[in-house]
Amino acid sequence: MKIHTVKEGETAGSIAAMYGVSPMKLAENNGISYKGELIEGEELLILLPTRTTVAGRGERLSDIAERFGVRESTLMGYNPECAHGGELYEGEQIAVRYGTPTLGLGIGNGYFYRSCKKEQLIRAMPYLSYLTISCAIGKRGGLTMLFDDTEIAALGRAAGKLPLLRIRLESESAKERLESVRCAAIKAAAGGYHGLTLSGDIGEGREGESLMLEAKKLLAEFDLSLFLECDLDCVPPAIDYADGSVISYDKIHLDPIPSFDDGERMAFTRFAEEHDALRCFIDLSPFALSGTRYLTKDEAREAIRRGRGRMMKGENGAYLYGMAGRGRGQRTYVMESMENTEKKLELLSECGYYGIAFDIARTSVYDLLMFRTSFAEGIGMC
């Protein structure tokens, strides 16, 4: 795996020829058009398979998986353009192996929000062990559903994933929060979920610890696991009572944004020294901004391309700037660099973290490919 920074005049074809890979595969893996214009300074992920095969007439991905004794989900992760699972083109080159992962085991936990499309979930499925469905809000001791989760949960279970029901707590009193958790537990148990993920306000100090202890007892009655979300700038003591946690480092509120070593590396390393990182997911933030609004990195990059803008490295190397338009109409997009994403993935093995969590709708396929080609798929928590 290599990260290539586009130089002036380079095309997908010329870059593919430089590394001896398929130009179509390079385009697919980076979400770009094979014949489209590249942006100077743009980063591309170059995957170098150690074994490939050619599809025969009428073959499907499942046939090739059986022929080589590998999981079909693994091939889908290596060949994202084939994720539909249909018949392959005769002569189509399929990557079978990308070498032995060097960073150990890794677990993927994908978040499905109301704005996410089913097609995006299917694309992300090969990278998942857990599927967190964000569809519930806990208010005044009750449960408010944001959308019907039935089909999405069923899709996850059919693909062998562990579904988690995410509930955002917005109740004011501890009693109401616990009652909302009880309502969510009943729904999760009836819906075939593996557990609950709590977000929002769980209460401070002992109040939060008490809620977590009572919630664990409650979920044990339904044979459900308990997960918790928190930011690195405000880690509650209650996190040690959770079966698993999702830890985020939110750059949107940081001005100026620190370098990776002074930001993520320091924060995630300190957390691992104080807590059990083996039960925690690192949030793989899709850090792409326009003003203060989150975009997908693909959306931001396409906007720069349409505006015939340019990309340049941030002063501290922490991220990439993309600038489109001229004069008063100029807009600046800020995107996390692939180099930083690669460094964040390396923290999994350096600090003993369990895996990554990511927004299915916003995270680019090349970030997921970086994860899957660096880690072997681990086993979900019981």
For the chain (length 382 residues), average pLDDT per consecutive 10? 91 92 86 85 91 90 92 82 73 84 90 94 92 96 95 95 96 90 97 96 88 94 96 90 94 84 94 94 90 87 86 80 81 90 94 96 91 83 57
Of 335, 271, 263, 329, the closest CA to residue 297 belongs to 335
Q: Using the 3D structure, point to which of 68, 100, 132 is the last residue of a domain.
A: 100
Q: Are residues 117 and 241 in the same domain?
A: yes
Q: What is the predicted pLDDT for the residue at 314?
A: 81
Residue at which a domain ends, from 79, 100, 121: 100
Q: What is the pLDDT of residue 37?
A: 83
- What is the model's pLDDT at position 111? 98
Which pLDDT score is estimated for 84? Answer: 61
Question: How many Cα atoms sit within 13 Å of 149 on the Cβ side?
Answer: 27
From residue 167, how far is each of 73, 171, 202, 318, 358 by CA, in Å?
A: 29, 11, 11, 32, 17
Alpha helical stretches, state H, the chain: 12-19, 23-30, 61-68, 72-78, 118-124, 150-158, 174-190, 205-221, 266-274, 297-306, 338-351, 365-374
Q: What are the structure tokens assigned to 284, written together?
A: 């793989």
Q: What's the CATH code of the domain at 270?
A: 3.20.20.80
Residues 57 and 161 in one domain: no
Rounded distance between C-alpha atoms, residue 30 and residue 333, angstroms: 18
Contact between residue 317 and residue 259 where contact means Cβ atoms under 8 Å apart: yes
- DSSP calls for 236-293: -GGGGGSSEEEEE--GGG-SSPPPTIIIIIHHHHHHHHHS-GGGEEEE----EEETTE
Q: 38: how many CB neighbours lie within 10 A of its CB? A: 21
pLDDT attached to residue 170:
93
Q: Residue 355 sits in which domain range?
A: 105-291+332-377
The residue type at 309 = G
- The whole-number pLDDT of residue 256 equals 82
Mark whether 348 and 367 lie in a shared domain: yes
What are 322's two structure tokens?
A: 């993309």
